[in-house]
A and B are shown apart, each in its own frame.
Chain A
Amino acid sequence: MDTAPASDRPGDQRQQEHPPYAEVQASAEFGELRRAHRSFAFPLTIAFVSWYLLYVLLSNYAGGFMDTKVAGNINVALVFGLGQFLTTFLIAWWYSRHAAAKLDPRSAAIKSSMGSDA
């Protein structure tokens, strides 16, 4: 687990009215936290929005493909729609696992190094 030592932030700063936000923002630890969030959430957002738009566009312009029978009266369009459900559940689960492993420990360490809430 990535825990920044509490001594990174001198205790006397707890007495200040405003914590040194700019300093924390510029710190290496915060940079890692930001990167851990953005490098996961941004590409994944682009991916699932594209995947969803692909479904919308195929529904519109690829009728023949979407109408293909898979089993009985179940066609590709329905399977594609159900696939959107499945990927939504999977992405939610994956993000939560990522957040618990990579984001929560880092943010807790930075928060505690900043001292108690004003």
Chain B
Amino acid sequence: MSIHQLAVESASDHRPLIITLFSVFVAATLGITVWAGRQTKDATDFYAGGRSFSGFQNGLAISGDYMSAASFLGIAGAIALTGYDGFLYSIGFLVAWLVALLLVAEPLRNTGRYTMGDVLAYRMRQRPVRTAAGVSTIVVSIFYLLAQMAGAGVLVSLLLGITNEAGKILIVVLVGVVMILYVSIGGMKGTTWVQMVKAVMLIAGALLMTFLVLLKFDFNVSELLGEAAKNSKMGHAFLEPGLKYGATGTTKLDFISLGLALVLGTAGLPHILIRFYTVPTAKAARKSVNWAIGIIGVFYLMTIALGFGAAALLDKKTITDSNPAGNTAAPLLADELGGPVLLAVISAVAFATILAVVAGLTLASSSSFAHDLYANVIRKGEATQEEEIKAARWATVGIGIVAIVLGVFARDLNVAGLVALAFAVAASANLPTILYSLFWKRFTTQGALWSIYGGLASSVFLVLFSPVVSGNPKSSMFKDVDFHWFPLENPGLISIPLGFLLGWVGSLLSKEKPDNAKYAELEVRSLTGYGAH
């Protein structure tokens, strides 16, 4: 009998404990949500939590928003199965924060109100650019949601031993419903508090597991790595780059593509960007990024212990039998370290992780739908605050349903790989426009539209014809068909430079002159904070 079956069985024995922990978390966070909902009176409360959070609180919430199922389940699994190559995720996800800190967080806080579209459309013709920003926000968030729902699905089927399709669908529906409640009732205030609670839980859980792993090896990291290498049966290759990406010239290109997407994606993720609006000033936004870098950095350092710990202490077959992409390595490791009680606790943490991130993503997409598409494009700025918030609440329900439907697919994809696709789309469609808007005088509406739609279309198109969607009988979304011709799993290598290039060419070829007065306004406000909302 494999450990996986043991885990499922012991988990089944402790099903009451697991269900109690899940219920306590859901009940507590829903309580917070209702409390936050009572305090949500106007649009600034709903979209930006009244801009009342401190730098530290927001830093914690950013960490809770950012450390997703990909960071916890995905990276641990990727390292457990492919050794050193999985570690790239940790590094890229962290270094990326410097782009946000140095170039984006403060100017964005100074010039926008509620959404990424506020800044993208600032100097431009409002309706076309807001439409583009709204579409890209929703597409990026849905890619990201897909990864979280995949994580939720595998986690719950591992824990509750649910193997039939109906049971899994039921769980995904439950996650969707809780998330809709968080966002539609609590708005940004509720979501922020849920993310803070989750960040504390995740850090505590990871610290505990890291401690237990290191304890097994007398706090000797070298010994841990040695045992991981030995147990993986791949020897030192396990600790060296190239196990996953070193096979051929194509996989090496894929590694560069992934690396590029990770480092440039963060500062273009709408659900991260809107977090900067929840603090009163640009200085507080800077402080919150610094806190986030500290918290996230420590967490990613711990993924080394979690991933190599899983490789050292678990049989590889156990991990892949449970989930081919390794997504359950962290909970299986918890079971190995502390038995079913720790398994239940860590699973509750993972569940909290997923719920908090999913809430942030849903909020970003429904805010953008209501503020960019509904209020500014459809109603041309004539909608009242009440109408706008109402639209946001309905959009939440809509996005929730989309997430539920998508969550039923894509269970066998590594969630870190899936999230990397969201990063690639964000880096291709959003980052060029954000940077050009803030720093390049000659950027025009046409440049913005070419860059957003070009980056978006090329990245999504390439993913569609990549091995992620079809052609790989083991890991593709559709296993039985093969219509792939693009060899890389991550499109970033092509689509990110293309997004930047299109923004530049589109601006130079544009008949319309850049709006110098508007650029003066944006530049002065972005650097001084004058007139910030």
Contacts and interface: CB of A to CB of B under 8 A. Distances in A.
Interface residues of A, number: 55
A6 interface: no
Contacts, number: 158
A92 B97 CA distance: 9
A21 B290 contact: no
Contact of A73 (B239, B245, B525, B532): B239
Contacts of A89: 293-294, 297
Given A60-B246, A77-B241, A34 B91 contact: no
Contacts of B103: 41, 45
B88 A56 contact: yes
A41 B259 CA distance: 21
B102 A88 contact: no
B225 interface: yes
B268 to A, nearest CB: 14
Contacts of A48: 95, 98
A77 B87 CA distance: 10
Interface stretch (B27-35, B172-180, B515-523): B515-523
Contact of B94 (A21, A24, A55, A88): A88
Contacts of B524: 19, 21, 24-25, 30, 110, 114
A85 B301 contact: yes
B87 A81 contact: yes
B229 interface: yes
Contacts of B207: none
A1 B531 CA distance: 24
Contacts of A95: 98, 101-102
A60 B245 contact: yes
A24 to B, nearest CB: 5
A85 B91 contact: yes
Contact of A114 (B241, B246, B530): B530
Nearest to B283: A104
Interface string A81-107: 110110011011101100100011001
Interface string B90-130: 11101101110111001000000000000000000000000
Contacts of B204: none
Contacts of B90: 81
15 contacts: A22-B516, A30-B527, A33-B528, A44-B102, A45-B98, A53-B256, A73-B229, A78-B225, A91-B102, A92-B290, A104-B283, A110-B527, A110-B528, A111-B528, A114-B524
Given A21-B525, A45-B102, A96-B286, 9 more contacts: A41-B103, A53-B259, A59-B84, A60-B241, A67-B236, A73-B239, A88-B97, A92-B289, A93-B290
